[in-house]
Chains A and B, each alone.
Chain A
């Protein structure tokens, strides 16, 4: 699955704008995110709280423009063709 990352997360994956992690049809967002962190340990503590139980405050993970917080959170099921998009806490004005 293709995963795009932004802002402070990019330096933690070697400066890449996107990375690929293995994912099966019907897997949860939480499972895919945990696999991403296994693949890029520098992301530990940047996306998920300890033990992968929840998203860290203000981190946003989007599927087709929708935040998984507005869907089923980490339990949101993904299709193999989905793309995940991850932002660290960002705001401005």
Chain B
């Protein structure tokens, strides 16, 4: 195959030397791993497993997929791939908005940063060229101020900026990379790696006039594929613009349903139902605080919810996006239901560049440690004013406690001598679904290649929403097979790179049609699933080489021993049973990819 659909242009930036080399894509890698997550993981893999995440030897890869920035719906995404300082695994973290599209329109499939600059710098990407510039005057600034100054300097409307804030500069292990639309590459500490490289920002100057277009021979197929995707979104009961739940209420439409079924981790998972959750639900936020509904490149859904707080101690806070994960992590998880305080904390995370999910778990872990007397002068359940103060201290390494909590929930709990208080897997804290009330997602946390994560295999779609078919959320049987399907499907869409929410209205057939139309040769739905399986196994192979082997797929003890409450009363996770089935369908041996599987998938 050729490389139709790609820019076929990659920049390798050596920050130590201050030099830039350019290369085309490896054709075989592009065929096997497609782009974004797949290719990014391959770049990390090729850099070797022994690298220290915060050393100059680690790579930080910004990688587009072949669909990124195209007219295909939900294609405004890129993956940031690296070895995570939070988990020690390979990680990929995606962001929406327009930065991915503009990076593609600036002429790039990927930027691979290595080394460490001897002073703060930023990278300017324009017309297929990367130049490095002094960022000393930007160091210490918040992300929004950084974005504003760089947009003014480089021309405004066609400029995207992906920047770190103080959290990345201070090596907070869960620092995020933010872009000009308050979108985050949130999970896994990609912003921490960026800070360790003294890389303050990546600026992409790209005009939509440079958007990829099919040649005349492929135009008809491309238009058909584009319309297939658009129609699926426009007609989908969940994604339908201005009518579907996701479009009207954003991701936070989940708050009430997850609470109803008793799967909302509350007070650090002490219970699974929060009596006050309605106050921070998507319905309440839309009614009381919503001011705008921004969207991303080529997306009619507009799930982002920009809020403004009008009264109380946080009056004047205006920030996006009031996501379900954020509302849960900083709200119910901490026994707090003040929308104004959550908006303030979200705004801090946006400005400082931090993952709201990990921060919420850090706080809830500290609250439980304080309740138990493990942490003196700590923080009480629901003390939002103290949360705001601690968030400042974490982001700026501004106090001894802030420095401890900056290690993430697992790292901080270890330091406190109570690792059991962290609801983390492989060093990354859980998102907003309790493994006791939704069995498949618990298996997903345990087996995720980047630490606890819902986005690796979103079985919640099936177990709660009935997409594509309903499965009983409380039954462990069959969850191994279900999870594998979701993990492989998402690994494929993350490599294209399409928004995860496309899976609410599309599947492998639609992905295959769109990918085929862009690359100019027919790829089947079965091949799409195999690409996803290959990417998932490559990640696992890397982690195996790092040292994650038998026993590395686990859940915090709380979820397998302490019964849930509310709509899942009495339930615990039957993890061992599900793991056995999962390893069997994966063809793995106790979490390790055997050589025959690697050969079958053409990884070796």
**A residues whose Cβ falls under 8 Å from a Cβ of B:** 6-8, 10, 56-58, 60, 62, 64-67, 69-70, 85, 87-93
> Majority SS of interface residues in chain B?
helix
Tell me whether A90 and B245 are in contact (CB under 8 A). yes
> What's the nearest-Cβ distance from chain A to residue B284, in Å?
10
Contact of A90 among B243, B254, B455, B458 (CB under 8 A): B254
Q: Which residues of A contact B261 (CB under 8 A)?
A: 62, 65-67
Which positions 52-101 of chain B face chain A at CB distance < 8 Å? Answer: none
3 A-B pairs with least C-beta separation: A65-B567, A92-B251, A90-B245
Tell me whether A89 and B237 are in contact (CB under 8 A). yes
Give CA–CA (A6, B283) in the complex, Å: 8
Mask of B455-489 contacts with A, CB within 8 angstroms, 1/0: 10010110011110010111000000000000000
Additional pairs, 4, CB under 8 Å, beyond known A7-B283, A91-B504, A93-B500: A64-B567, A65-B260, A70-B473, A92-B324
Say yes or no: A6-B466 contact (C-beta < 8 A), given A88-B245, A89-B238. Answer: no
Chain A residue nearest to B466 in the complex (CB): A58
Tell me whether A91 and B254 are in contact (CB under 8 A). yes
Q: Which residues of B contact A67 (CB under 8 A)?
A: 261, 470, 473
Tell me whether B254 and A65 are in contact (CB under 8 A). no
> What's the nearest-Cβ distance from chain B to residue A34, in Å?
21
Tell me whether B567 and A91 are in contact (CB under 8 A). no
**Can you identify 10 A-B contacts, CB atoms within 8 angstroms?**
A6-B256, A7-B256, A60-B257, A62-B261, A64-B567, A65-B260, A65-B261, A65-B566, A67-B261, A91-B464
Tell me whether A58 and B260 are in contact (CB under 8 A). no
B266 at the interface (CB under 8 A from A): no
Tell me whether A85 and B260 are in contact (CB under 8 A). yes
Give CA–CA (A8, B256) in the complex, Å: 13
Q: Which residues of B contact A85 (CB under 8 A)?
A: 260
> What's the nearest-Cβ distance from chain A to residue B237, in Å?
4
Which positions 434-468 of chain B face chain A at CB distance < 8 Å? Answer: 454-455, 458, 460-461, 464-467
Contact of A57 among B237, B464, B566 (CB under 8 A): B237
Give CA–CA (A90, B238) in the complex, Å: 6
Q: Which residues of B contact A58 (CB under 8 A)?
A: 237-238, 465-467
Chain B residue nearest to A7 in the complex (CB): B245
Q: Which residues of B contact A88 (CB under 8 A)?
A: 237, 245
B248 at the interface (CB under 8 A from A): yes
**B residues whose Cβ falls under 8 Å from a Cβ of A:** 237-238, 243-246, 248-254, 256-257, 260-262, 282-283, 303, 323-325, 454-455, 458, 460-461, 464-467, 470, 472-474, 500-501, 504, 566-569
Q: Which residues of B contact A93 (CB under 8 A)?
A: 251, 324-325, 454-455, 458, 500-501
Tell me whether A62 and B324 are in contact (CB under 8 A). no
Tell me whether B466 and A92 are in contact (CB under 8 A). no
Q: Which residues of A contact B253 (CB under 8 A)?
A: 7, 90-92
Contact of A91 among B245, B256, B568 (CB under 8 A): B245
Tell me whether B237 and A10 are in contact (CB under 8 A). no
> What's the nearest-Cβ distance from chain B to residue A59, in Å?
8
> What's the nearest-Cβ distance from chain B to residue A48, in Å?
14
> What's the nearest-Cβ distance from chain B to residue A85, in Å?
6
Contact of B472 among A57, A70, A87, A89 (CB under 8 A): A70
Tell me whether B246 and A90 are in contact (CB under 8 A). yes
Chain B residue nearest to A63 in the complex (CB): B567
Tell me whether A90 and B474 are in contact (CB under 8 A). no
Give CA–CA (A57, B465) in the complex, Å: 9
Give CA–CA (A6, B458) in the complex, Å: 22
Tell me whether B466 and A90 are in contact (CB under 8 A). no
Give CA–CA (A62, B465) in the complex, Å: 12
Tell me whether A92 and B568 are in contact (CB under 8 A). no
Contact of B256 among A64, A69, A70, A87 (CB under 8 A): A87
Q: Which residues of B contact A65 (CB under 8 A)?
A: 260-262, 566-569
User: Max chain B CB contacts within 10 Å: which of A6, A58, A92, A93?
Assistant: A92
Give CA–CA (A57, B567) in the complex, Å: 22
Q: Which residues of A contact B470 (CB under 8 A)?
A: 67, 69-70
Chain B residue nearest to A90 in the complex (CB): B245
Q: Which residues of A contact B460 (CB under 8 A)?
A: 91
Q: Which residues of A contact B250 (CB under 8 A)?
A: 92
Chain A residue nearest to B237 in the complex (CB): A89
Q: Which residues of A contact B237 (CB under 8 A)?
A: 56-58, 88-89
> What's the nearest-Cβ distance from chain B to residue A44, in Å?
16
Chain B residue nearest to A71 in the complex (CB): B472
User: Max chain A CB contacts within 10 Å: which of B250, B251, B260, B283?
Assistant: B260
